[in-house]
Structure 1
Amino acid sequence: MTTTAGPAAALDPRTRAEVERWLTRRGLPHLIAGYSAREDVLTRVVPFLALVFTFEVLLALNLDWPLWANVAAVVGGGVLLLGAYGLLNRLQGRATLALPRRVGNGEIATFLMLPALLPVVFGGDLASAAVAILGNAVTLAVVYFVASYGILHMLRWALAQTGRHLAAVGRLAARALPMLLLFSTFLFVNAELWQVAGDFTTATFTATIVLFVGAGLIFFLLRLPRQTADIATFDTWAQVEGLIARSPAVALGDAPSRPLADVPPLSRPDRLNVGLLLVVAQGVQILLVSALIGAFFVAFGLIAIREGTILTWTTAEEVTALARLTLWDTPVVLTTELVRVASFIAAFTGLQFTVSASTDETWRAEFIDDVVADVREALAVRARCLAAAPPDAG
């Protein structure tokens, strides 16, 4: 390990950039020191927002107008929007069509309000203008949330983690399946469940699955604050140094002289970012295990449950067939009822997994600890980077 060379080495731009990329790829951008939504998030999504602008200009088209009027409306709308944006840039001291380095209230107001002028100017339609403002506000909020918390990076990291630990997840599913078979198989061959599945509409079936998912999510979220606090706590700098050994932060050198207690605690956005990552990572794992259970019961139903049996259990006049196959010279049918029953059991299994993986230490060791270790490594990188900065910058 290299020797710390003071603040200059600690704030080396190359090391800082590598650490920022390392944290961003793990879906934890809020752990970056000095992270700013207006400078680091909204500026990156300006090109996407420009596409939304362009789409809204095209909405000025009216099929009832002649071609020349539509062309004039599109050109006029584009000139209006570009002119207003250029004027804002000039007022901010930037080049006319320059991309902003910091998105302020003026840029946000421009995105929200300017497209709403088009239906007013070209048709006097105030209702459409209000809808445009509301739509832009929702779009901006969604884009900000996804970009600010690195949701896409988070999903990619969670999928990669699951892929690396696929064998462990498979072992866990194989271990869990025998425990579930006694209850789930009895439930699966129970006529009452098939009757319930047969009575489901698409809306009620979806609501039932959402209810199971929501119950598991609420249970997990209730335990999340304590879990986050535990993994963000370090006893000594030696512990931190051991955790960052495989990260770019190792280039910062030996442990700093500043007390560990001086490192700022996690802010609310930091905690939300960590919590989201834990939810997404464990959600991907639970979804995979639930999908395996659901696929097992679909296969079991295809082999063991005949079409006549389904008709008897559901009291329906005919099944809703999705596909008809032949297995070992025996006709089998994949029905909507079978898929719904298997999905119901899979969702219930997911809820059980969520509870068991959070409370049972044996399950936790196989199911959660790897994810927690990676998040703890990122939190150690954050602590080391904040300690490397001058005291007034921490």
Structure 2
Amino acid sequence: MTTSPADRVAAETWFLRRGLPAVLRPGALVRRLWQRSAPALAAFAVFMANSILVTAVTGKHTINIEGQPTRTEWFVLALLLLVAPVAALAGWLVSRIASWRNRAGVAVVSVAVCAVGAVLGGPGPKVGGNLIYVGVIVAVILICTATGIGSILGWALDTTAHNLTLVGSLFVRALPIMLLTVLVFFNTYVWLMAAIISRARLWSALGFLSLIAVAFVIATTIDRVRPILTASAPDAPEAQDAVLADTPFVHLPAPAHRIPLSRIERVNVVFVLAMSQVLQLLIVALVTAFIFLVLGLILISPKLLAEWTRGNGSPDGTIFGMTLPIPESLIQTTLFLGALTFMYITARTTTDAEYRAEFVDPQVDSLRRRLDARDRYLADLRHA
């Protein structure tokens, strides 16, 4: 039985790393909250450090690049391209730190960097507003960690990173839709729409299309996991011991019957499996959108832009509050094509037996293993 605090911590960490926070009691989610938030805080600190550098180089808190970029502006553009990968790398490295004390130190340093970033950089010139912004983001990170959302997102990202080879095969499956979206890309009515429609209305349309795609994933995920969620008998103890050999639960007795899952646990199971699939499909859609963005930068000249948009196209565009030397209509068209790709590849993979065998079925098998561990963990808690 799990008797020592170290064993209990190991068991809780095992579930959190595998995206099942609903298995734990509410009090367990707030333990070591600061340390568990360290990866996200480190990633946020990278963005704030980048804002310090951008402000120091440009003397401005906002990025406004119009026309042909100068050498300094090219440097700023390079920073924009690198900041997200560097932040992801920082978060990943911190997540690999085993010592809770070291994690706490990283969290403190990260918040300190964010505070300095609010003074020397930040999204605006007012230090007070920047400090409020930093405080809100840090609070959101802590809340996500305390509610288990961070655990689910972390597991989904880790699973996606370990299955990047599948992204390549998914991209190959997306080639037919790329051939279709090429026709959309060269459709002048699409460019005219992109030049006239507001960004808020476009985001609403993209959100609507994305909701449809996610609904496909959730519906198929529920069908795949329903037999496991409703099963009354767990696997044989010998089979459980084999798959749980390297876990903190191998020495715990296996209950004779499956402990019924609560509603929140069922939601957790479906959400974590659906999230891992959505992230993979989203990567494919983003790569496709990036290809069209580069194609547009190569092909679109001021004369062609004026012709396709009937004089409504701006040579500069805005994204996330930054003005960049990219036509606004090209940004809008790229976002629209990315959403179409996301919808198509989602519908394609939900009925693709090969994709299910390569990615979904292994995840379902892993889920069965985690539920066996859950039964042992909860049975031990009840008899403790």
In structure 1, what is the equivalent of residue 327 of structure 2?
335
Distance 2:293 2:332 in 1: 9
Match status 1:191 vs 2:188: yes
In structure 2, what is the equivalent of residue 384 of structure 1?
376
SS in structure 1 of the partner of residue 326 of structure 2: strand
Report if the CA contact (8 A) 2:177-2:344 is conserved: no
Displacement of 1:42 in angstroms is 5.6
SS in structure 2 of the partner of residue 246 of structure 1: coil
Report if the CA contact (8 A) 2:192-2:312 is conserved: no
Deviations 1:51-109 (A, max 9, x none): xxxxxxxxxxxxxxxxxxxxxxxxxxxxxxxxxxxxxxxxxxxxxxxxxxxxxxxxxxx
Match status 1:163 vs 2:161: yes
Displacement of 1:321 in angstroms is 2.1
Q: 1:272 aligns with which of 263, 267, 273?
A: 267
Distance 1:340 1:160 in 2: 30
Deviations 1:150-176 (A, max 9, x none): 112222222222222112212321x12
Pairing 1:173-192 to 2, within 5 Å after superposition:
173=171, 175-192=172-189
Distance 2:291 2:164 in 1: 17
Letter in 1 for 2:356: R
After superposition, the Cα gap between the structure-2 partners of 1:335 and 1:375, relative to the gap in structure 1 and judged at 3 Å, is: farther
SS in structure 2 of the partner of residue 368 of structure 1: helix
Displacement of 1:205 in angstroms is 0.7
SS in structure 1 of the partner of residue 19 of structure 2: coil
Gaps of 5+ in 1: 1-8, 48-138, 324-332
Q: 1:16 aligns with which of 1, 5, 8?
A: 8
In structure 1, what is the equivalent of residue 314 of structure 2?
319
Pairing 1:40-189 to 2, within 5 Å after superposition:
40-41=28-29, 146-173=144-171, 175-189=172-186
In structure 2, what is the equivalent of residue 375 of structure 1?
367
Distance 1:382 1:269 in 2: 14
Displacement of 1:192 in angstroms is 1.6
In structure 1, what is the equivalent of residue 249 of structure 2?
249
Letter in 1 for 2:352: D
Q: 1:284 aligns with which of 279, 288, 292?
A: 279
Match status 1:308 vs 2:303: yes
Report if the CA contact (8 A) 1:11-1:388 is conserved: no
TM-score, with length taken from structure 2: 0.62
Displacement of 1:178 in angstroms is 2.2
Instruction: Give me the CA root mean square deviation.
Output: 3.2
Report if the CA contact (8 A) 1:243-1:380 is conserved: no
Distance 1:275 1:161 in 2: 15
Q: Which moved more, 1:150-159 or 1:225-234?
A: 225-234
The alignment-based identity, stated in percent, is 27
Q: 1:215 aligns with which of 193, 212, 217?
A: 212
Report if the CA contact (8 A) 2:235-2:372 is conserved: no
Letter in 2 for 1:361: A
After superposition, the Cα gap between the structure-2 partners of 1:221 and 1:162, relative to the gap in structure 1 and judged at 3 Å, is: closer
Letter in 1 for 2:377: C
Match status 1:225 vs 2:222: yes
Displacement of 1:367 in angstroms is 4.1
Q: 2:358 aligns with which of 354, 358, 366?
A: 366
Gaps of 5+ in 2: 36-136, 319-324
Distance 1:288 1:183 in 2: 19
TM-score, with length taken from structure 1: 0.61
Report if the CA contact (8 A) 1:31-1:379 is conserved: no
Report if the CA contact (8 A) 2:178-2:341 is conserved: no
In structure 1, what is the equivalent of residue 49 of structure 2?
none
SS in structure 2 of the partner of residue 348 of structure 1: helix
After superposition, the Cα gap between the structure-2 partners of 1:291 and 1:367, relative to the gap in structure 1 and judged at 3 Å, is: farther
In structure 1, what is the equivalent of residue 120 of structure 2?
none
Distance 1:361 1:272 in 2: 25
Instruction: State the aligned residue count.
Output: 274
Distance 2:249 2:351 in 1: 33
Report if the CA contact (8 A) 2:21-2:152 is conserved: no
In structure 2, what is the equivalent of residue 91 of structure 1?
none
Distance 1:193 1:187 in 2: 7
In structure 2, what is the equivalent of residue 99 of structure 1?
none
Larger Rg: 1
Distance 1:350 1:274 in 2: 23
